[in-house]
Chain A
Amino acid sequence: MGKTLYERLEEDVRFSEGLKSCMNCGVCTAICPAAEVSDYDPRMVVTVVQLRDEAGVEKLLKSDTIWRCGECLSCKTRCPRGNVPGYIIQALRALSIETGLFIESEQGRKQLAIKRTVGDHILKYGYCVYIDEVDNDMYPEQGPIWEWLRKNRESMLERLGTSYKKDQSGTLRNTSKESLNDLKRIFDETGGTQRFEKIEKYSSEKAKELGIGFKEGKDDYFNLLYNE
């Protein structure tokens, strides 16, 4: 017989570190920035897993709930019993992707858009964020200063002493092919590559089911997930 979802959660060190013994005081919810702007309630998440409620865990894995957390980890500081709802969320999110259940929720499906931005940037540039990829259409809050800086980046970044597009140490330097290969091999060896492939595979199936164009990069499905 296969492992239960709860047993799979227990294999994640973050889960055992995050769940000690919750007394349902609600301090985590009171301090939580996500609870302030949505119906997210970390106390309820901890209650479900603490009860070892298998159906409840499956419901969480298919829900928007586990994707509402902003991982500020304010809950870790304040819990009087040493629980960390944020760690429990990390374990739930990982299992939601591993089981493919993330595509059952609107927020879970958005993982594809994150994979195709910061995720792919890591393996392409060696950084999560890179100036060439951050335009004002996708990030309008960047404001006119960014638009100006980006437009003039060759000149300004040289004036400011960076190593933009250069093969040397310093700010915004090129990451060498050797270092990028190291990252790729680490991803292959430790499950990062397989995680990315799972996100693409399950997302492809969902996009087909929804009848939305799915190819690669910023395709129709990406734009829907990213913008709406």
Chain B
Amino acid sequence: MNIRKNEIWASYQKEIADDHYYFARSCIRQNFFPAAENLYIDILRDVLKKDIYDDARQTTCTGIAYHSGLIPLETTMTVIARQFALMTEAGYENFVVSCVTSFGLYVETLETWKHFPVTEQKTRDALKRATGMTFLIPKNLVHASDVIYKFRKEIAEKINLRLINKSTGEPLKIVDHIGCHYAKIFPQKGIGGAEYSYVLAGLIDEWGGLQVDYPERRHCCGFGFRQYLLKSNRGYSVSNSKKKFDSMQPYKPDLIIANCPGCTFFLDRWQFVIAEMEGKTYGENGYGIPVLTYEELAGLLLGYNPWDIGLQTHQVSVEPLLGKLGIRYDPEQKYKGIDGKDIGRPEHPQVLKCI
């Protein structure tokens, strides 16, 4: 039976729990897009009426350091086992991971235990000796965007706007970037698999936008872990992002939505660097292409104030997108501190146009 290319994603599905989630935070996201995770929790609790537990005891999974060749696998697996123990203690069974690197590593850990059962026992013993803790394996383990995907139709019923250019009536052209560790390591664990990931494309389709299918759609953003972490190695990172921008530019995307915290960061910040170093910009009229996370996009469409959900912390200005969507906003509020306090404004880059 022939399956049309744009339907291949449908053969990769997975179970996503309906309610009662234990939330694991992301190291990168909470620093560089500091309102995103709170927005995610608000959407789940206030809009979708779901129960999600935010545990103060949860820590890093060590993923960035692990993939930089710094941390032994046994250490990382035991830190992950501690997170499962915290979930177990809190009375939850469904684990939701806010970071794609972490998600890949949690799945990797579970698969390692499955294929090498002795490693699970060693991890349990190590955790017990180190902390006295025991754990149950989650019944359901998903990435945070999987939950938004699962409830994309429910969100669509509540949104005030569609992904339509208000001036032209045309759907907005949107690039999705999934992040390598969402499905390239274990394609069966990602909606749509690795080649035809649908976790974000499904949001674009459901909320009225138009997917951009460009040649380098599945190429890495260029994080490279140790390659980015060292100033001397960052050429790796920006080169790979540039390859993607050059490939997507002819399609004139209005927006990039990203799945992975690192990817969101790199696709935002490297546009600034390329503009300043090479004088090249990828958006319209000297701006960049705005880069949003999946919940930031959902939040905008649900009517959240862009400055309450932290869109001023992106280097690429989001105002061109807000204009196309017809979202009204108060420009004076963008850079105000707590209680409307005047805390000054960021400097303007030399080349990249910013507001």
| A129 and B31 in contact, given A33-B240, A114-B229 (Cβ under 8 angstroms) | yes
B73 engages A13 (CB within 8 Å): yes
- Measured CA separation A168–B54 after assembly (Å): 10
Closest to B225 in A: A71
Known: A36-B239, A186-B127. A76 touches B184 (CB 8 A): yes
Asked if residues B25 and A171 are in contact (CB atoms below 8 Å), the reply is: yes
Chain B: CB-nearest residue to A199: B70
The reply on B177 being an interface residue by CB < 8 A is no
Closest to A89 in B: B69
Q: Check A156/B130 contact, CB under 8 A, given A73-B180, A111-B69, A141-B273.
A: no
Q: Are B30 and A36 in contact (CB under 8 A)?
A: no
B337 touches A141 (CB 8 A): no
Find residues 71-114 in chain A having any chain B CB closer than 8 Å to their own CB. 71-74, 76-77, 90, 93-94, 97, 110-111, 113-114
Q: Once the chains bind, are A192 and B71 in contact (CB under 8 Å)?
A: yes
Q: Does B346 contact A (CB under 8 A)?
A: yes
> A37, B239: Cβ atoms under 8 Å?
yes
Given A141-B272, A143-B315, A186-B131: A127 in contact with B27 (beta carbons within 8 A): yes
- A77–B131 Cα distance when bound, in Å, is 36
| Residues of chain B within 8 A of A131, CB atoms compared | 31
A114-154 vs B, Cβ < 8 Å mask (1 yes, 0 no): 11011100100011111100100011011111111100100
Which bracket fits the contact residues of A?
A: 35 or more
Q: Give the residue name and chain of the B residue nearest to A12 (CB).
A: B73
- Docked Cα-Cα span, A144 to B116, in Å, equals 48
Asked whether B347 lies within 8 Å of A144 as measured between CB atoms, the reply is: yes
Segment from B56-64, B136-144, B153-161, B247-255 that makes contact with A:
B56-64
Give the segment of A19-27, A53-61, A177-185, A212-220 that binds chain B: A177-185
A141 to B274, CA, bound (A): 10
Determine if A97 and B69 form an interchain contact, defined as CB atoms under 8 angstroms apart: yes
With known contacts A13-B116, A155-B343, A128–B224 Cβ distance under 8 A: no
How many residue-residue contacts, CB under 8 A, span A and B? 261
Q: How far is the CB of B86 from chain A (nearest CB, A)?
A: 9
The stretch that binds B, out of A43-51, A159-167, A200-208, is: A159-167
B70 touches A115 (CB 8 A): yes
**How near does chain B come to A105, taking the closest CB pair, in angstroms?**
12
From the candidates B70, B79, B230, name the one contacting A186 in the complex (CB within 8 A). Answer: B79
B328 CB within 8 Å of chain A: no
Closest chain A CB from B270 CB (angstroms): 7
Q: Are B59 and A72 in contact (CB under 8 A)?
A: no
Most buried by B among A97, A115, A169, A172: A169
Q: Are B64 and A129 in contact (CB under 8 A)?
A: yes
Q: Is the Cβ of B78 less than 8 Å from the Cβ of A190?
A: yes
Instruction: Tell me which of A77, A114, A149, A161 contacts B194 (CB under 8 A).
Output: A77
Stretch at the interface among B5-13, B166-174, B215-223: B215-223
From B193, which residue of chain A is reached at the shortest CB distance? A77
The residues of B that contact A10 with a CB separation of less than 8 Å are none
Give the 10 A-B residue pairs with the shortest CB-CB distance, closest first.
Answer: A70-B224, A155-B337, A148-B346, A192-B75, A93-B69, A185-B130, A169-B56, A128-B64, A72-B180, A126-B59
- Give me 16 A-to-B residue pairs in the complex whose CB atoms sit less than 8 angstroms apart, sorted by A's number: A17-B115, A36-B240, A70-B224, A77-B194, A111-B68, A127-B30, A129-B64, A131-B31, A141-B273, A148-B347, A152-B343, A161-B35, A171-B34, A176-B56, A186-B82, A191-B72
Contacts beyond the supplied A90-B69, A176-B56: 5 A-B pairs with Cβ under 8 Å: A70-B224, A73-B185, A122-B60, A155-B338, A159-B337
